[in-house]
């Protein structure tokens, strides 16, 4: 019961550090499925046009070609937390209160439901939206560790 969101910011609540950490790690599953979907879509369409539904509509054309460059190692890194002790891996954090927050707010999204996954010099930002999990930013996606 301590992980059930209470809504008052208490233990397990969405705004508590525990709640945010849990939500961030839980979002990793959505990210892994989304990145796998991008890879599959790109296999049949290297332009990435068929993967547009994996991105927020306002950034799809900007990132879909870059998404098609994702390596298996990068997808593995973003899908695995570093606490596992395995490499490649990534750290994840809520972007609210960080310099990346504006990436979400500029799209009308709640930065508290957006997560930055970082590995080496690579970064992927995704958000839980009313339309599901959507990618909003890709940066040096294959520069993972």
What gap in Å lies between CA 80 and CA 142, rounded to an integer?
14
Contact criterion met (CB below 8 Å) for 14 and 22: no
| Sheet arrangement for strand 91-94 | 91-94, 114-119, 122-129, 132-139
The Cα 29–Cα 33 span in angstroms is 6
Average pLDDT, the chain: 87
- For residue 26, is it left (φ>0), alpha (ψ between -120 and 50) or beta? alpha
What was the pLDDT predicted at 19? 65
Query: What pLDDT was estimated at residue 10?
Result: 37
Alpha-carbon span 62 to 65, nearest angstrom: 8
Q: What's the pLDDT at 23?
A: 81
Q: Which residue has the higher pLDDT, 84 or 121?
A: 121
Report the interhelical angle of 72-79 vs 17-44 (nearest 10°): 160
Give yes or no for residue 6 having a pLDDT over 90: no
For 18, the enclosing helix (H) or strand (E) is helix 17-44
Q: Is the pLDDT of residue 104 over 80?
A: yes
Could you tell me how many residues make up the chain? 145
- Judge whether residue 8 has pLDDT over 60: no
Q: Tell me if 35 sits within 8 A of 70, measured CB to CB.
A: yes
pLDDT digits (tens, 9 = 90+) for 17-68: 566 777 888 899 999 999 999 999 999 998 999 999 999 999 999 999 999 9
For 10-14, 92-96, 117-121, which range has the lowest pLDDT when averaged over its residues?
10-14
């Amino acid at each position: 019961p301590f992980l059930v969101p209470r809504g008052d910011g208490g233990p397990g609540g969405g705004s508590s550090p525990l709640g945010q950490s849990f939500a961030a790690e839980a979002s990793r599953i959505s990210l892994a499925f989304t990145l796998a979907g991008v890879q599959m879509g790109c296999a049949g369409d290297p332009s990435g046009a068929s993967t547009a539904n994996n991105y927020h509509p306002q950034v799809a054309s900007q990132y879909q070609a870059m998404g098609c460059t994702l390596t298996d190692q990068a997808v593995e890194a973003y899908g695995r937390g570093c606490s596992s002790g395995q490499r490649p891996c990534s750290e994840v954090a809520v972007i609210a209160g960080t310099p990346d927050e504006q990436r979400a707010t500029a799209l009308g999204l709640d930065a508290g439901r957006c997560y930055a996954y970082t590995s080496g010099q690579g970064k992927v930002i995704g958000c839980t939206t009313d339309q599901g999990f959507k990618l909003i930013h890709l940066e040096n996606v294959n520069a993972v560790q």
